[in-house]
Chains A and B, each alone.
Chain A
């Protein structure tokens, strides 16, 4: 028998069960988490909370529960990365440009999860992130850095760093994130939680403040693969009138098979027949020894569960860095041209003519990394450089995507590290953008190819900081990824570990 746990120690599935059994109300759960968020404000995970709004949503969820409705997420709280626009909370995208911005509508993902028209989840607030989701340490937030709950002198990863820190510190049972080049997987890895970026187009991008439109994708972050499966089932699905790039694939129930797997006996080899491909390029000298050790140990566990490991090759892995850092800034420079100080966002107090107003407003509103990426993007799209940079990068992008298809001829899932190191110290890479770009090496190629990828807690490295195992699936194979991760989590308890003192 296990001892009764605090509400914040429960995952999504367990909280939902308590709510469904009416052992606790959504209002009580919401109050508990709001108190915890206040108690751990110094982590910097939240940019906005509003108890009245959250409690009103909780009362609405309780009313649905009282009326007899039972659905898997009803009444369970979560928080949204501040990249998703929300009617009921401010949305800043981590930027001074959008200080005090209030959206007239909810993002599709917010609406699908929410209590008014969706799965019935209660929003606890908005989560800190790198400005416009550009960064991998959350130190590019214009408001405040986020601390890693495992060591508050270290970064939680980024750009969904607030989401990752909040889940790891058990301030929320789950959160949304967005992933353009690794922004769900890398912070999940560095904080010891589970996160999945689905296939590009699975979730609607409507209402996600746009960074790089051909790469941006929403996904859930939680403690377990099963919790992620429940959330993704509610988030995904076509959005025909709102997002022309959302895939015409019906929403999938990712959780039922996983729950069925719980009932299977121990000692079985549930992953028998699963071929896991290990790209040589993910296991080279660029990855630190402690991370490789944890990843290898996790893979040995997969072998015990019946999977076989095969060698594959992704020869252009290193090239994914320049290719991504040409394409993503190019798209960002175009997307961020909308911030002109006219319709919304910051406007300079003093300016001359219209052009001067644009320039002063934008320069004051954007932080250093965003400015840098707009400059890079504008340059690679400018006359005379477009072919050599942007078009060239898009061509290599195709070769990278084709290499994945060749690899998937030999395996079902590709595995490797998420990040070459554990979380670094806050400020350590702040003035060396290229160094932080290089650390994205293992997540960029699958983003460029639009493939689903996830991070699964796989133990600890140096300084007792968490290490994530990356699993990459072929297009639309989220269910397979979640299923494999779930079996791993039935056999291990890395995802249940909690940071000390929180």
Chain B
């Protein structure tokens, strides 16, 4: 199953990426090369196998810990916004969202 340039455009939009036309062609070729490799996975029988998300879970149940739902972080607004592209009165500026 090969991807088409329509697939590339659809995925790029989902990923919020903008590919130049020549990039689309190039990416298409590379991704199709890659998915030829991925198709090797079809040869493995995985019926009844549970997906493994946390690697150490292979040893048994892993409980991801939760912490108390309390405020622990100090306010660091200024420091946190130092690297922001556009800030005004402590708020992040973005283009108009609602017309």
Question: When the two chains form the complex, which single residue of B15, B16, B72 contacts A241, counting CB atoms closer than 8 Å?
Answer: B72
Task: Please tell me if the beta carbons of A245 and B54 are within 8 angstroms of each other in the complex.
Answer: yes
When A244-B66, A247-B56, A354-B97 are in contact, do A396 and B11 touch as well, CB less than 8 Å? Answer: no
B40 to chain A, nearest CB (A): 5
B67 within 8 A of A: yes
Contacts of B58 in A (CB 8 A): 398, 401-402, 405, 449-450
A355 within 8 A of B: yes
Contacts of A240 in B (CB 8 A): 65, 67
Interface size on A, residues (CB 8 A): 76
In the complex, what distance in Å separates the CA atom of A101 from the CA atom of B80?
10
A397 within 8 A of B: yes
Contacts of B2 in A (CB 8 A): none
Instruction: Report A426-463 residues with CB < 8 Å from chain B CB.
Output: 433-434, 437, 448-451
Task: Please tell me if the beta carbons of B95 and A395 are within 8 angstroms of each other in the complex.
Answer: no
Task: Please tell me if the beta carbons of A353 and B95 are within 8 angstroms of each other in the complex.
Answer: yes
Task: Please tell me if the beta carbons of B92 and A399 are within 8 angstroms of each other in the complex.
Answer: no
| Per-residue interface assignment for chain B, residues 42 to 66, with 1 indicating a CB less than 8 Å from any chain A CB and 0 otherwise | 0010100111111110110000111
Task: Please tell me if the beta carbons of B38 and A325 are within 8 angstroms of each other in the complex.
Answer: yes
B14 within 8 A of A: yes
Q: Looking at chain B's contact residues, is the secondary structure mostly helix, strand, loop, or mixed?
A: loop
Q: What is the chain B residue whose CB lies nearest that of A100?
A: B83
When A244-B65, A354-B95, A362-B17 are in contact, do A199 and B79 touch as well, CB less than 8 Å? Answer: no
Instruction: Report A80-102 residues with CB < 8 Å from chain B CB.
Output: 100-102
| Per-residue interface assignment for chain A, residues 356 to 397, with 1 indicating a CB less than 8 Å from any chain B CB and 0 otherwise | 011110110010000110111111001000000101111111
In the complex, what distance in Å separates the CA atom of A342 from the CA atom of B52?
34
Task: Please tell me if the beta carbons of A102 and B82 are within 8 angstroms of each other in the complex.
Answer: yes
Task: Please tell me if the beta carbons of A392 and B41 are within 8 angstroms of each other in the complex.
Answer: yes
Question: When the two chains form the complex, which single residue of B27, B84, B85, B97 contacts A375, counting CB atoms closer than 8 Å?
Answer: B27
Q: What is the chain B residue whose CB lies nearest that of A87?
A: B79
Task: Please tell me if the beta carbons of B85 and A345 are within 8 angstroms of each other in the complex.
Answer: yes
Number of A-B pairs, beta carbon distance below 8 Å = 170
Q: What is the chain B residue whose CB lies nearest that of A242?
A: B67
In the complex, what distance in Å separates the CA atom of A162 from the CA atom of B15?
30
A321 within 8 A of B: yes
A424 within 8 A of B: no
Task: Please tell me if the beta carbons of A319 and B38 are within 8 angstroms of each other in the complex.
Answer: no
Task: Please tell me if the beta carbons of A450 and B95 are within 8 angstroms of each other in the complex.
Answer: no
Contacts of A358 in B (CB 8 A): 16
Task: Please tell me if the beta carbons of B83 and A102 are within 8 angstroms of each other in the complex.
Answer: yes
Contacts of B41 in A (CB 8 A): 319, 322-323, 326, 389, 392-393, 396
| Per-residue interface assignment for chain A, residues 169 to 209, with 1 indicating a CB less than 8 Å from any chain B CB and 0 otherwise | 00000000000000000000000000000011100000000
Interface size on B, residues (CB 8 A): 52
Task: Please tell me if the beta carbons of A372 and B16 are within 8 angstroms of each other in the complex.
Answer: no
Contacts of A391 in B (CB 8 A): 51
Task: Please tell me if the beta carbons of B27 and A401 are within 8 angstroms of each other in the complex.
Answer: no
B94 within 8 A of A: yes
Q: What is the chain B residue whose CB lies nearest that of A215?
A: B55
In the complex, what distance in Å separates the CA atom of A466 from the CA atom of B13?
44
Question: When the two chains form the complex, which single residue of B37, B54, B66 contacts A325, counting CB atoms closer than 8 Å?
Answer: B37
Contacts of A354 in B (CB 8 A): 94-97
Task: Please tell me if the beta carbons of B18 and A359 are within 8 angstroms of each other in the complex.
Answer: yes
Question: When the two chains form the complex, which single residue of B52, B76, B85, B95 contacts A104, counting CB atoms closer than 8 Å?
Answer: B76
Contacts of A351 in B (CB 8 A): 95
Task: Please tell me if the beta carbons of B67 and A342 are within 8 angstroms of each other in the complex.
Answer: no
Task: Please tell me if the beta carbons of B85 and A342 are within 8 angstroms of each other in the complex.
Answer: yes
Q: What is the chain B residue whose CB lies nearest that of A405?
A: B58
In the complex, what distance in Å separates the CA atom of A359 from the CA atom of B17?
5
Task: Please tell me if the beta carbons of A199 and B56 are within 8 angstroms of each other in the complex.
Answer: yes
A475 within 8 A of B: yes
Instruction: Report A220-266 residues with CB < 8 Å from chain B CB.
Output: 240-241, 244-245, 247-248
Q: Which of B51, B54, B59 counts the most A-chain CB atoms under 10 A from its CB?
A: B51
Question: When the two chains form the complex, which single residue of A352, A375, A449 contacts B12, counting CB atoms closer than 8 Å?
Answer: A375
Task: Please tell me if the beta carbons of A322 and B38 are within 8 angstroms of each other in the complex.
Answer: yes
A344 within 8 A of B: yes
A316 within 8 A of B: yes
A500 to chain B, nearest CB (A): 38
| Per-residue interface assignment for chain A, residues 28 to 70, with 1 indicating a CB less than 8 Å from any chain B CB and 0 otherwise | 0000000000000000000000000000000000000000000
B7 within 8 A of A: yes
Contacts of B81 in A (CB 8 A): 343
A214 within 8 A of B: yes
| Per-residue interface assignment for chain A, residues 280 to 324, with 1 indicating a CB less than 8 Å from any chain B CB and 0 otherwise | 000000000000000000000000000000000000101101110
B95 to chain A, nearest CB (A): 5
Instruction: Report A392-417 residues with CB < 8 Å from chain B CB.
Output: 392-399, 401-402, 405
Task: Please tell me if the beta carbons of B16 and A340 are within 8 angstroms of each other in the complex.
Answer: yes
Q: Which of B12, B14, B19, B58 counts the most A-chain CB atoms under 10 A from its CB?
A: B58
Task: Please tell me if the beta carbons of A375 and B56 are within 8 angstroms of each other in the complex.
Answer: no
Task: Please tell me if the beta carbons of A374 and B17 are within 8 angstroms of each other in the complex.
Answer: yes
B30 within 8 A of A: yes
Contacts of B16 in A (CB 8 A): 337, 340, 355, 358-359, 362
What are 13 residue pairs bridging A and B, where the CB atoms are less than 8 Å apart in the complex?
A: A102-B83, A104-B80, A104-B82, A200-B54, A325-B37, A344-B83, A345-B85, A362-B16, A372-B27, A375-B17, A378-B11, A389-B41, A398-B51
Chain A residues at the B interface, C-beta cutoff of 8 Å: 100-102, 104-105, 199-201, 214-215, 240-241, 244-245, 247-248, 316, 318-319, 321-323, 325-326, 333, 337, 340-347, 351-355, 357-360, 362-363, 366, 371-372, 374-379, 382, 389, 391-399, 401-402, 405, 433-434, 437, 448-451, 475
